[in-house]
Each structure stands twice: as structure tokens, then as C-alpha cells.
Amino acid sequence: MAPLASTLLFATALMTSMVRGHMIMTNPVPYGKSSLNNSPLSSTGSDFPCKQRSGVYDISTMNKMAVGEDQTLSFQGSAVHGGGSCQLSVSLDTEPTKSSTFKVIKSFEGGCPGADGGPSTFKFSIPKGFPNGKATFAWTWFNRIGNREMYMNCAPITVTGGSDSKDEYNKLPDMFVANVPQGSSCSTKESGDVIFPNPGQTVQKIGSGPFYAAVGSNCQSYGKAGSGSSDSSGASGSSPAVMAPGASSAAATTPTKSTLATVYTQTTPAANANNTPVVVNTPGGAVNTPGATPAASTPLSSGSSSCSSNGAIVCNGTDKFGICNNGQVAWQSVAPGTKCSNGSISKV
């Protein structure tokens, strides 16, 4: 082959690899589809949110979503960086800015957007009571392997079958932000899957971990409005003020920490050959893992990470819990207003 032809072939292959590398959300169809690239958010956070650029909010397809109906999340690309953790969030702003609020509708801890080979396909739905009308859907990703980065793609959506009220929307936790700008007060660890500090009502754990908490003094859910929720007893709490990347301290507010219990699901190849999530905890009461024996509630030392009953909830005192995953457990705090006891989560 002639040298020029070889050079052109190599350049074409390299460009193709660059285009296919990382991930781009294909469904829901993103804003600015023709100008969207597969890179993470800028290390300075200057293009937060939604990868700001010329034509960022151009609409080629309006994604229609009925409340409660299954929706599909899919991607194109090849570099899943070993997986990681993702969140799906929605802003009621149709052209979000740094001061916009994004509320979490589902979190995937581990295995997202894929773990081995190419990307996977995921399911989600718009929760009941969600406001009707046009909004902005966001997929955010914190990669497991590689530089500490944050990826974010956004898409236009129209919600139907919901509510004319924002009450349920305001109860949802704010979207988690880390690694932007690089060196910020919150970052994720490499070679592990981040556990979100406030993951929302629906969480799906995929894969075998290890799972880590984010590191830093400001690892709370981000949101300008900071709206939280309270449980039926009226209990509420607070968390430190947080800011959007690049925002001034004057714009920060102190959000109210959500007290909604969390639905945890776990998918592991060994325990679930059909890749069916196992519900281990549901809002509003104590529910043990179906088909599993509750793990002992004897308080464990903070350094302990072993367990014997795969898929079971393990208590570390009453204020921390973990899900037994192939003999390992990663601790996280229970939701405010709840406690861990006898292998289940219940209201205080």
C-alpha cells in the first residue's frame, strides 16, 4: 500500500475510534445532536450543564414521555471506562443554565453505561406526580477507570399524564455533581463505583463493586433551589450549602436533605442470571430481601466489609447499612428518619 494511502487509512481509523470512544446518549435523543461530542465536561466546569456550545439546545426530536411508562436509555460508543455510576435527572428549565435545578429520577450505582465491552441499555420511568409539560432530561456519568471526570448529555422531553403541581418534583433530591472543576471539593475515586450521597427513590446497583463514597467536604447533591422533602412524621434535616460549578458563593443556598426512603435494587451475574433487579428495601417500611435471610444486625466495626448472605441488608449500628454482594459490603448512611435493624430499614 502506498505511504499516502496508509497514512489516510490510519487517520480515518483514528478519527473513527475517537468518534466511537467514550459515550454519547442516543435515546432519549439529545439536544444539539449534530454538535454533541463524546468528551466529558470541561475540567474547568465552563460547559456545565449539558455541554454548553453553539446550538446546545437545538431540537431535532422531541422525546415524549408518559408518567409511569417504561423508557429506554441507550448509547453509542465503545469506551465505557470499566463502567461507573450514572444518574438520570430532570430540570423544568428548557434551556438550563448553571443556576438551574436538576432533580434525580433514578440512579445506577455500578455497571453504567456498561461494564464489559460496549454500552448496555437501561430502563427508567418518569415518577408519578411529575409536572406535565416541556423539560430537560439529563444523563450524568462518573467513570470507574481513567481521569476523574463527569459526563453529561441532555435531551428535550415532554411529560404527559402527570400533575399540574410541582410538589412531588420538589421532593426529589438534587443531581450529584463531582470532579468539575477538577480539584473541586468533591471527587470520585478511581477503580470503583461511586455511591451517591442522595440517590433518590429508585437506585439500581449493577455488578460487584467495589463501591465507594465520594471524597471531599462538599459532596452533597447539587441544586440552586435545594428543595428536599420530609417523611410522614414531618422530620427534616439540612445539609451544607453547595454550588454549581463556577457559581459564586453568594448564589449558594442551604438545601434541605431528603428524608425519602430509598428503593435499592441489585443486579449481579451470579445471583440473577436473568438480570432481574432484586428489591431489597421499599419506601415507607421494613422489607427484607426476597429469598434471602436477613443478615445479623450486630453492629460491625467501621472497617469491616465482609458478609455471608448475598443480597441481604447488613446493619452497622442503626445509622449505617450495606447490601451484601458476593461476601463484600460497602457502608452508607440510612435516610434521615429511618434506622437499620435486624436486616431491614424502617422508620424511626
Write out pLDDT tens, residues 31-41: 999 999 999 99
State how far the Cα of 102 lies from the Cα of 324, in Å rounded to an integer.
Answer: 31
pLDDT digits (tens, 9 = 90+) for 6-15: 433 333 333 3
CA distance 270 to 286: 26
CATH number of 21-260: 2.70.50.70
Which pLDDT value is given to residue 284? 33
Query: What local confidence, expressed as pLDDT, does residue 345 receive?
Result: 66
Give the tens place of pLDDT for each residue, 245-280.
Answer: 655 433 333 333 332 333 444 443 333 333 333 333
Say which amino acid occupies 190: E
Per DSSP, what are the bridge partners of residue 25? 75
Nine cell digits for residue 217: 467536604
Domain ranges of the chain: 21-260
**Residue 171's closest CA among 49, 265, 256, 68?**
256
Per-residue CA distances from 32 to 25, 29, 53, 105, 157 (Å): 12, 9, 9, 23, 14
pTM over 0.75: no
Q: Name the band, by pLDDT with cuts 50, 70 and 90, for residue 310.
A: low
Contacts of 12 (CB under 8 A, 6+ apart): none
Please tell me the total number of residues recorded for the chain in this structure.
348
Mean pLDDT of 98-102: 96
CA distances from residue 64 to 69, 137, 157, 158 in whole angstroms, order as listed: 11, 11, 6, 5
pLDDT digits (tens, 9 = 90+) for 173-231: 999 999 998 877 899 999 999 999 999 989 999 877 899 999 888 886 443 323 333 22
Torsion sign across C-alpha atoms 222, 227, 232, 233:
positive
User: What is the pLDDT at residue 325?
Assistant: 61
